[in-house]
Every structure is written in structure tokens, then in C-alpha cells.
Structure 1
């Protein structure tokens, strides 16, 4: 049985755990607030694309993935449809280097770990700000594709953790008229109605539109939890002239529900008790009082103008607003006795206003032996948060095996005001040189300056800090005649930290660096690719847990690993997606980092019947393996978390050229498993069954 720590030490340790696992403390928001922008791929088509993908995520200029000396994976709309992806963190279940689902089926947060570290999320090439519980949640139905850039990304994207970034690309207007209406039903009372229509708005086709909308509701994986969503996203594209284009993107999304807090103790999950195991659907929250009302609105544009045959100017801009009213109750990490444990409660009520703009000049010129692409840019962000918050780590007591949902309401007078203001300016230069169609040389440098003010009225603490950093990046790749392209790259990351230690001193910025050696294989005779990479990431000035539970900055975190990934057609009808990841993530004391498995593997097969009586039928199936993990070294959990294997399947049938019926099942066997432990333990998501019927024109 785990021992109970002292009250003071426990509260400090719990505060750290909550900041690390949930981002509850807004003062910790600056650990995950990168600035900058990704350039958007200019393709408007939603048709299935070759696995030889051209993207602008990694370099901010268009380049084939197999000719980019960085590790990048992408999931297209076709695959999102096939697997019926319902949340962003389901996207990369069948790609290497990305861990998701480690906290179960959370209904108000997308959770990813990339190469053993946290990641940051972008939407349409611009940062989606997610400080604390103010989460920006992309709706998967509104996306054309999702990309993951693995490893440090500060060279083009400003402050970021060393794990990587995820870019969600919205659906765009199309040149041809098209549309879709879809209805879905499923277990846990899943209901969804969606539509998507696009095409030319003028006779000449120089103005095009798209309108995407959705309503869906579903119960959470815990008793008494649910989420209801409204989503609407119009967009317009205008060819102002032959050399000038403007794309306007807007979205509105409203979520209402009761939050899923999957926190459970090791006692009753990993560990046996005199009262048996805790049911995975057990809810330690207060569903009659808890709520999650979340509204996010955005409008922005992408502007491109060709100055001449060599130079073009690009500008991305977005303004976003987020309103949040959150009440959330959760169990603590220790128990009072064999049956009861304290509960914590938090509230957030506030709003975020932000805008970000990225200006780029791209020049490309040629000689007999070379092709040179020069990129330089300036980006700027402004973020303002104004809200009230409440935190109690021992609000009341709950029966571990028979929890009741009642809770005493929190008086509004106990909510304290938090104000955060942040401005950041970034300057960057990158050059890509291609020599004799054999060598690709890449180099870049970036400078950032961030002004951050964080004021909290409860303890009368104000942090007003300016921090700056310079980041470097480089890479070299050889292009082989047989499609084998080996490469070596180096990248850096940094994170300004607007926090103070117990003595009142401001922490130093967190820095990261990565060396990566890899090979990409995509022969012209095969519609597919294989990539393999070894990487070594080191993060300095990382936060560590002192013996008494408070944060120190004496830490160092490392991750070394190997990734193997392949997507391609074995035959004209059979497509295979397969991935393997090995990651050894360790802290400053050379102990394994919590939650991160050493081994992950997955494979998905799709078979399309193209003739005979079953023409139009598609069968798909996948298997996902996640190896054993450990809990936080600072916790009292000694047991390892066992590995688990899950199976998914889909069947789709094109009734005719308009109608399609489909059924998706995730976790077919309804496996009951603990997905991970840090200070708490988390059951994995239960079986999901969803049927779809769509009409397309």
C-alpha cells in the first residue's frame, strides 16, 4: 500500500502534477505557448493524394516529404474518413513517434506526446493557443489533413517544446462543385449530422466558397459525462489576379457538457484491494455541478502575391477568441483509508483574445547545377487572457468504490482574477540549396523576443519578463537514383518561462536540441514510402521534482529512439500502413520518464473490392500495441503499467455513386486496460462503435 505524504509536501507535489498533467495553473501556460506560423500548403483539392506528399509544414516552403531532411508524417482526409476520426488525438494512432490515448477518452482536451515530449498544436499554419484549461479544439470533420513535425521546431515556429508540432489543415474551397451530407449513430449515445458543400461562386470560377457544418453529441467514457458540439466553418478563395490570391477562413465552435476527469488511484486499478477493482466508468467528479462550456471563434486569411518569377510574398493572419466556463472535480492521488480519498475542485471562467501574423518572402532561382530557395520572415503574436480561477486540492472526500456526485457549490467570492498579456516578435532566415539533383543542403537561424506579464491577485504576484533566444538548424540529404534518400539534421528549441521559484527568482528558459539520422525510400515505381530514423533529443533547464514536491530547474531530460514508418499500396487494392517506435526517455537521475513506452507498433490494412458481386466494398482492420510504462519517479506508485494491444476494424460499402454506408469499431474486444500512470492512473478508452451513412454529389 502506498504511503501518504505530508500535507504540505503533498499539496506542492500535487500542484506540480496537475500543472504537468492538466495545465490547471495558468502561470504554467508559458511552458506551452509557442509563437510563429506554418506556411499553408496551397493545394485546394480534397481528392485522395499520392503517398508521395508535398507539404510546407517542415520548411515553410513546399517540398516533397521524401526530399525533406526532417521527420514529418501526414494523415490525409481519405484516411480520416476511413478510420472515422472523432478527435484530433486519434489521428496518429497508425504513425510512428506519436503517443496518444495515454489519459483515456478525454472529452475536452487532445493529448499527444511526440518523441517522448509534449507537442504544440497549429491550425492552418498558425499557433492554436492552449494555456491551462483554455484549450483550442480542432474539429476533425472540418480538416483536409493533419501533419506532425517531429523534433524541435523553433527555427521556424518560435518557442516550442522539443517534441514537435501538429498542424491541422482546414478544408478549403474547391474549383469543382461538390457536397456531402452525413449522419452517424453509435454507442454511448453518439449522434452526428454534418454537411460540406463547396464550389465556384462566380461563373468564371475566380471566386470559390466552402461551407462546413456539424452537430454532434456523445456520452463520455465516465458515468454522467457528455459533450455536445456545434461547428460551422465558411471559407472563401479569390483569385484577385493571375499572380495574387486571397483565402479567407472562419470558424465557430461551441461545446457544452460535463468534463471527463479520468484520474484514478493505483489502488483499485493497478493494485488489488479488499473491495476489488474500480470500474473503468467510475466517475469521481460531480456531474450535477461540473460543467464545461467552451466557445471558440476565429477569422483569418492567407494572402499570396508573386512579385516576379523569382520572388513571392506570403502573409498568414488569424484573430481568435475563446470563452470558457469550467467547473471540474477530481480525485486526489492518495487515500485517507481503505475506502475514501480527498477530492480536488477547480474552476476557470474567462476569455482569451489573440492574433498572430506571419510575413514571408520566398525567392527561388536556378543555375545549370543548382536550385536555391531562400526564405526570410517576420512573425508577431499578441495574446491576452482575462479570467477568474479557483483551485482546492482537498475540497471534500469521496468513497473510492461508491462515489456520490454531490458537491458544495463554490462561492463566486473565492474566485481570484488572473491576467496574462504576451507579445512576441520573431525573425527567421532559411536557405535550401539543391545541387545536381543529388544533394540538398538546408540551414536556418531564428531570433525571438517575448514580453510576458502574468498577474494573479490571490497571492499578489506579478511576473513581468522579457526573454529572448536564437535558434539554429541545419540538414543534408542525398537523393539516390533508386529512391533511397539518407539524411542528417540538427535542430534546436527553446521555451521562455514566465514563472518564479520559491525564492521569487524567475526561471531560466528551457532549451532543447536534436540530432537525427534517417533514410527515406520512395521509388518512382511504387505508390508509397518507407522512412526510418534514429534521434537523440536533450532538454536542458527542464523542470524536475524535488524531494519535497516543489519545482526546481536543475533537471535534464533526454530521449533517444528509433522510428520506422511505411504507407503504401501492396497491390492496386491492398494498402498497408505500418509503424514501429522505440523511445528511451530519461530524467536527470537517469530514471525512465513516466507515461512514455519504450516500444509502440501498429499496422492497418485496407482492401478495396473493385470488381465482382462485392464491388464497392472496402474492408479495413488494424492492431495497435503499446509497451509497458512506468509512473512518475516522484510518485508512490512502484508497479509498472502493463503493455496492451487493441484491435480496430471498419467496413464500408458504396451503395451507388452517391450513397456510402460505413461502420467503424475501435477496441473491438472492449479491452479493459490501464493506459498509463503518472501520479494518478488512467483507464484506456472503451469500445467505440459508430455507423455512418453519407450522400455525396
Structure 2
């Protein structure tokens, strides 16, 4: 067995002036605050408060970072069925580019990959072991755009998605919901919450769901069971403990939307390939996926200044996957090679985040100092099989079957990963006008990847120091311009096809933006320009393998607004321009230059149609490229209507892709048709 070991201690490239400037801002602000501990508290108005960007609850319009949030009301209005549907009407986020996958959530943020978190703790997604948050169990979903290592450690350059679970409520409430729809959609869901004791110091919530639906390809399907209990306990006036648990089981036939450019964006003598064509083997393929998690959030006020916070989660994911997919054409114009893969194993992981938060106030300043230590541990043990040329099929008439793989053809893979992070951040607010932000983080990741297939063990320690900084001005008219800098660090414990060890991936971003949220208007508008650079980027080679091809850049402009035009009419609109380029300065695959969307909903409350609510939206995605191939732009429309009757009942219907538009969503070696029309009716009873 060959053993490859490399240890590195390196910093992300950054000019000395920026490093030392951020450092002095951080230390100076903290020192000034420590000298003023007995000042009075300053009240601030809020629009949307989130802890995703800073790990401290802060109004988004007063945060010198680009963060978007989708709340529970919007998730229900648009009847979001998969996590990657959440940000269809927000800027900077590309989703649906791989079609309607039924066992993975796909996002691109500012042209790059992102990491997914739930309740502020990392969700491990390694290879085909994908943790899938159930949207019905979420209170909201947030996206942090751009490098986010300063508070979260290992992170891709695009940013992170944070799914926030439903929590117990002080008031008794409940819901029973039934859904039916096309593609044999069936769903039954229950959500009940309230006080568990007479005094209300203990509160509970139980969320459960059963759902089944056919996939967007012929003979694919998925069935899901989901159960998420939670308990919140006010141990004392200064101490609170929240327990969060979930169990989810999926069983189905996977959707593999891989198709060739030949027959999709390119014409053939035999016509186009039907979008619902399945190159898999439904009688043999399967996706049995079980995920379980239990954890807690602990909060304790030591005094009027300091608060200790600790978040912990243990999770396990069991996967038994057999998946057949289109690989490459043979050149005869009619047949193509299929690939086949199998994964049979489990991931055990736990993560813990400990932090101290201190706040001091004077007549002119408000200072928040955050420092913490987090630790992540992951262990994967499984068997796998990969064949990129397993058999050959007719492109226009695939057989739907495959020769079974014998058990002795599977090889074992083990991945063990530990990451320790130390971080420090200071936010200083001066005269209710200026917000100064500075932070630094050190990460060390030990990763071991051992595979029987190529008899190579990768054993590495990769480390980095990440910096961040920002400044924002808060004007009386609600206009808040800002400038920020962020970095990211992502260890990679894999080998290339040649056996060479991949380098760690690093990203850095400058962003200049403005946020507008006047006190007289229920809403906000944000605009930002950004310049993001990633080193050691991955790309898909012509042979279908992953390779590192040096630097990748992304520059762009984003405009986003959510607000009420009248008391009854709400508008959500976004525009994104993104120019993402590879190491050779060519446009990167998948990423369109232009995206635009708008959603409006109108509530007829107080009129003759009281109880009726209607909504409609349009989504436009500009053309993208894959080498010499141009993927045309597309536009799809969505609509909804709901009616409340009897004070407790609500009937609703949602239609996505109203006209059943047939389009290719993107190409990157393979091409992917976009999701077909979806129609779902819901009936809810609230008590």
C-alpha cells in the first residue's frame, strides 16, 4: 500500500496592510469596550434578526455582509418541497441547474459551491452521503454569500446555507396537513407545539411527516418518513436548554438527470431525447437513506455582560445506494456508455461549538465581543463500487435494466476527519452611525482517507488562518452602505486520478454594498458588487474526472428587495449578474451571467373576497456555457392561490413551471433538463 502524507502550515494570501489593519481594529475596539463595562444599554430597531452572519443575533440590514433569509411564511406560500427551492426568488443563488434530483440539494452561490448547516452546525456531505433537511421541519432558511470560514471553519468559497429548525412555542398551536399532486404526490404532516408545564418553563414541539412522490424521470420515486421532537427548558432566569432531535428515512429509486449534449442542446438525426428518459436501471437501482440526529443548544448568562453559548449535535447517516447513469457517447450517433456506482456504509459525526459573547455599552458605543472554540469529528466507513463504462445502451431507447454487481466487487473506503477551530470577532457600533467589524480564525484539520481500490492512503494535516473585516454607515434615512472582506479555507483529502494529492482550497472576497430599510416601510432593498477569487479550484475534466485547475474568479452585482407595496400587496424581486471564470479566463460551466426573478402575492383581507390570497412569480435564467456549447436561457412561471375558511381551515394550490416549459437547465460535460410542471394541492387545519 502506498502512503501519501503532507503537512502544511500556511496563511491565505492577503496584503500585510489589510491583515494588520483588521487586527488593530479588532484589538482596539475590544480594548475600548473592556474599559467601559458599566455603561447603559442602547436600544436598536430591527427588521430581520439573524445569527447566521455573525453568530450573534443582529439585524441583517445592520450587518456588513450579504445574507438573505426565507421565513416560514414564504416557505408555506410557495410550498417548498426541497431545500434547494428556498432561494428561487433571491439574488446570488443558482438552484435547479441539475434538474429535479430526489436525493440531493444543489446550490451554487456566487458561482461557487457552498456548505450546508442546520441550526448553525455543519451538515456533513461527503460524496454521495447527503444529509437532507426536510423543509416542513424548518422555521427559516438563510444564505451567507461569499467565504465564511471566519466563524464556521471549513467552507467552500461560495458561502453557506443555514437551515433553522422549528422550535417549541410559548403558545399552544397545532396543524394537520394533507397534500396531493401530480407525479403521485401524497403527503400527511402534523406539527404541534406549546407549554409542557403549567408555568410554561418547559415547552415542546412535535413535527412529523409522511411523503411520497414519483421523480421527474420515468420509473423513479421516493418515500419519506420524518419525525422531529424538540424540548425547551428555562432552567432559571439566566439559563436555557433546548433539545433538538430528528429521524428521517428515505426509500426510493434515484433520479440521475445526466444526459449528453447530443440529443439535448444539440440536434440529432433521431430527434431530441425526451426529458423524462431514464438511463438508470429502476428494477435494480435503489436509494435507502436513513439519517438520525440529536443535540442541544445551551445558553447561560454569567452576568449582565457575558453570556456562554454551547451547541452540540451527534448525527448518523446510513446509506445503501445503487445508481446507474449516462456516462459518454460511443461516437456512432446512437449508443452511449453507462456508468454504475454503489455506496453501502454510514457516517458518524459530532460537532460542538463553544463561545463567549460579551456586550458593553456607553452613551456613544455598543460593543459585542465574540470568541469561541469549535470541534468537528467525522467518520465514514463503507463499501463502494464505481465503473464509468459498465455497459452500452441505446440513447433513445435505454433498456431499464443492468447486470447486477456481485458483492466481492465492492471495495472498502474509510474517511476520518477532525477539525479544531479558534475564532475571535469584534463588532463595534459608534454613535448609532458606524459599525466596525473585525475577526480572525485559526483552523487545523486532520484528515485520513483510505481506499482499498487504489491502495492509497491520504493522511494530512491542513491548516489556515482566516481574516475578515467590514465597515458600515447607518444613515437616518435607512440607507446603509458597507465594505467587507472575507476568506475561506477548505481542506481536501482526496487524490487525483494520477494519485497526486489535491491541495487545500482557499477563497477571498471583497464586497461593496448598500442596504436600504427605512423606518416607514415594511421591507428592505440590498445591492452589492463583489470580487471573489478561489485558488486550487475543482473542474470536471473531459473524461468526467475531477481535477484541480488553479485559480477561479467570480465578479458580479446583486440586487434584491422584499417588501409591501401596499398593506395587501407584497413584492419579492431579485437580479443577479455573475461572471465566473476558470484558470484560463474562460467562462465557467453552469453559471449564467444573468438571473432575474419576481414574485407578488395579494391578500384580499377586508374585501368581499376576504380569506383569498393569490400569488405569481416568474424566474429567468440567462444562457450559460460549457466550453463551445451554449445553453439557451429560459423563463418559467409559478403561481399559487389559497383560501382560509372557518377560521381554522386553509386550502391551497401551488403550480411551478405553469406552462410546463421544456428546457435544458445547464451543461457541464453532461446536460440536465429542468424540472417539469409541478401541481400540489394542500388542505390544512390549524388548532
Q: Report what 1:690 is aligned to.
A: 680
2:540–2:668 CA contact under 8 A, matched in 1: no
In 2, Cα distance between equivalents of 1:547 and 1:695: 53
Q: Report what 2:363 is aligned to.
A: 368
- Partner of 1:686, secondary structure, is coil
**Does 2:667 match 1:672?**
no
In 2, Cα distance between equivalents of 1:600 and 1:208: 43
Question: Which of residues 630, 648, 653 is equivalent to 2:643?
Answer: 653
Greater displacement, 569-578 / 547-556: 547-556
Question: Which of residues 255, 258, 261 is equivalent to 2:256?
Answer: 261
**Does 2:305 match 1:315?**
no
**Does 2:81 match 1:86?**
yes
Q: Report what 1:140 is aligned to.
A: 135
- Partner of 2:624, secondary structure, is coil
After TM superposition, the structure 1 = structure 2 runs for residues 313-392 of structure 1, keeping only pairs within 5 Å, are: 313-392=308-387
1:152–1:514 CA contact under 8 A, matched in 2: yes
- Partner of 2:602, secondary structure, is strand
In 2, Cα distance between equivalents of 1:639 and 1:584: 17
After TM superposition, the structure 1 = structure 2 runs for residues 589-600 of structure 1, keeping only pairs within 5 Å, are: 589-600=584-595
After TM superposition, the structure 1 = structure 2 runs for residues 150-169 of structure 1, keeping only pairs within 5 Å, are: 150-169=145-164
Question: Which of residues 55, 59, 62 is equivalent to 2:57?
Answer: 62
Displacement, 1:336? Answer: 4.1
2:329–2:335 CA contact under 8 A, matched in 1: no
Q: Report what 1:178 is aligned to.
A: 173
**Does 2:276 match 1:281?**
yes
Question: Which of residues 396, 412, 417 is equivalent to 1:417?
Answer: 412
In 2, Cα distance between equivalents of 1:170 and 1:209: 13
1:336–1:342 CA contact under 8 A, matched in 2: no
Displacement, 1:386? Answer: 0.3
Count of matched residue positions in the alignment of Structure 1 and Structure 2: 644
Displacement, 1:547? Answer: 7.9
Shift in alpha-carbon separation, 1:262–1:553, aligned structure 2, 3 A: closer
Greater displacement, 137-146 / 266-275: 266-275
- In structure 1, list runs of 5 or more residues that go unmatched: 1-49
Question: Which of residues 49, 67, 81 is equivalent to 1:72?
Answer: 67
Question: Which of residues 471, 475, 488 is equivalent to 1:476?
Answer: 471
In 2, Cα distance between equivalents of 1:470 and 1:657: 55
Displacement, 1:335? Answer: 2.9
The Cα offsets for residues 438-477 of structure 1, whole Å up to 9 and x where unpaired, read as 0000000000001111110122110111111000000000
**Does 2:117 match 1:127?**
no
Alignment RMSD: 1.4
Displacement, 1:478? Answer: 0.2
Displacement, 1:499? Answer: 2.5
- In structure 2, list runs of 5 or more residues that go unmatched: 1-44
Q: Report what 1:608 is aligned to.
A: 603
- TM-score (norm: length of structure 2): 0.92
1:356–1:381 CA contact under 8 A, matched in 2: yes
Q: Report what 2:560 is aligned to.
A: 565
Q: Report what 1:490 is aligned to.
A: 485
In 1, Cα distance between equivalents of 2:171 and 2:123: 30
Displacement, 1:366? Answer: 1.0
**Does 2:623 match 1:628?**
yes
Q: Report what 1:466 is aligned to.
A: 461
2:46–2:59 CA contact under 8 A, matched in 1: no
Greater displacement, 326-335 / 68-77: 326-335
Q: Report what 2:6 is aligned to.
A: none
Greater displacement, 450-459 / 334-343: 334-343
In 1, Cα distance between equivalents of 2:185 and 2:261: 30
Q: Report what 2:47 is aligned to.
A: 52
**Does 2:299 match 1:304?**
yes
- Partner of 2:610, secondary structure, is coil
1:51–1:528 CA contact under 8 A, matched in 2: no
Q: Report what 1:108 is aligned to.
A: 103
1:382–1:424 CA contact under 8 A, matched in 2: yes
**Does 2:630 match 1:640?**
yes
- Partner of 1:81, secondary structure, is helix
Question: Which of residues 198, 208, 214 is equivalent to 2:193?
Answer: 198
The Cα offsets for residues 376-408 of structure 1, whole Å up to 9 and x where unpaired, read as 000001100000000001111111111111111
In 2, Cα distance between equivalents of 1:159 and 1:409: 38
2:100–2:215 CA contact under 8 A, matched in 1: yes
The Cα offsets for residues 531-582 of structure 1, whole Å up to 9 and x where unpaired, read as 0000000011223567887665451100000000000000000000000000
Question: Which of residues 529, 535, 538 is equivalent to 2:530?
Answer: 535
In 1, Cα distance between equivalents of 2:290 and 2:540: 35
Displacement, 1:611? Answer: 1.9
2:451–2:457 CA contact under 8 A, matched in 1: yes
Displacement, 1:648? Answer: 0.3
Displacement, 1:498? Answer: 1.4
- TM-score (norm: length of structure 1): 0.91
Q: Report what 2:41 is aligned to.
A: none
Displacement, 1:52? Answer: 1.7
In 2, Cα distance between equivalents of 1:312 and 1:326: 44
The Cα offsets for residues 198-231 of structure 1, whole Å up to 9 and x where unpaired, read as 0000000000000000000000000000000000
In 1, Cα distance between equivalents of 2:136 and 2:558: 29
- Partner of 1:413, secondary structure, is helix
Shift in alpha-carbon separation, 1:553–1:285, aligned structure 2, 3 A: closer
Q: Report what 2:182 is aligned to.
A: 187
Displacement, 1:161? Answer: 1.0
In 2, Cα distance between equivalents of 1:221 and 1:546: 27
Q: Report what 1:396 is aligned to.
A: 391
